[in-house]
Copies of this chain bind each other. A is one copy, B any other.
């Protein structure tokens, strides 16, 4: 089987239902990808991910490159074997972390020089080397190196970043092509649309990358501090210049409502640390909005976390018990909260697939907000 995307249904709203095939299995879209930064989704085991119906996970190239190093994963036979996860894996290029976490030394047309945030060692990444690293990691879907810009960013700087992103995408393709078979399975390369909040630059970035004909496209540089209307607007705009028959991935987004809104604008794939990071602090997402577990109101609440949720945590444990775990600083708290919140996200995308197929996305969206609470300020 080779990588393939099929658009199976489109709701009048523009929301899409589709299917991605990879050599490690099928993914239905819209999909949310739990983030397994260092080869583990924090606090969860791989069997938990299977239980909650995770179809694909994301791993961070930057983190794995620094520790334990892609060479170790290659020796293990790739990330699937290393972490005992037999479903698809997507890796980012590491660019975002270099720009946000590392001590950035220098960015040139050649690549990016930075210092590791772990040991201060000097590193250099190029469009070619990040593909090399991802090939060693062994992900099914790889990202090209792109130049991320901060928000706010001048149009001039954003223009330069778009140009460099296109140049780097070309170099990645020239070095490896869009599809590479290694260790008996295919890996594909996605390009990343940049352009900050400038419509003209987003259009230009999308058009230039579409010209290069990648198997899929990501939209990057959003959810970095811009207003919600820019997040949704830029996602919609970028999507409008992307081919119908390729998957569209909005990187690093976001809150449940952001995902609903982006799906309404034709986006297929998502990842975010939000559900797991918040869960570790005791804030969980439910069908009735966010719940802060440590709140005193939960002390004697012997009912489930989310009465509309049928996940293992909601079927088994009470809010009072979950609150106790967080108050007592017990590791089981973050684990159960992460399990539930990821289940909530995955259940959310599964629900959306269903209503898109039925052509009822818009009605469903209203019902969702009626229950969840409309937290959108700019929508």
Contacts and interface: CB of A to CB of B under 8 A. Distances in A.
B335 A331 contact: yes
A337 to B, nearest CB: 12
Interface in A288-345: 299-300, 302, 312, 316-318, 320-321, 324-325, 327-328, 330-332, 334-336
Contact of A334 (B300, B331, B336): B331
A84 interface: yes
A102 interface: no
B76 A330 contact: no
B43 A331 contact: yes
A61 to B, nearest CB: 15
Among A68, A318, A336, chain B packs the most CB atoms within 10 A around the CB of A68
A157 to B, nearest CB: 34
Interface stretch (A15-23, A34-42, A93-101, A163-171): A34-42
Contacts of A330: 38, 40, 42
A237 interface: no
A375 interface: no
Contact of A76 (B76, B302, B327): B302
Contact of A321 (B47, B82, B299, B325): B82
A318 to B, nearest CB: 7
A324 B39 contact: yes
**Chain A interface extent, by class:** 35 or more
Given A45-B332, A46-B316, A320-B72, A325 B40 contact: yes
A50 B308 CA distance: 26
A334 B44 CA distance: 11
B44 A332 contact: yes
A71 to B, nearest CB: 10
Interface of A: 38-40, 42-47, 67-68, 72, 75-77, 81-84, 299-300, 302, 312, 316-318, 320-321, 324-325, 327-328, 330-332, 334-336
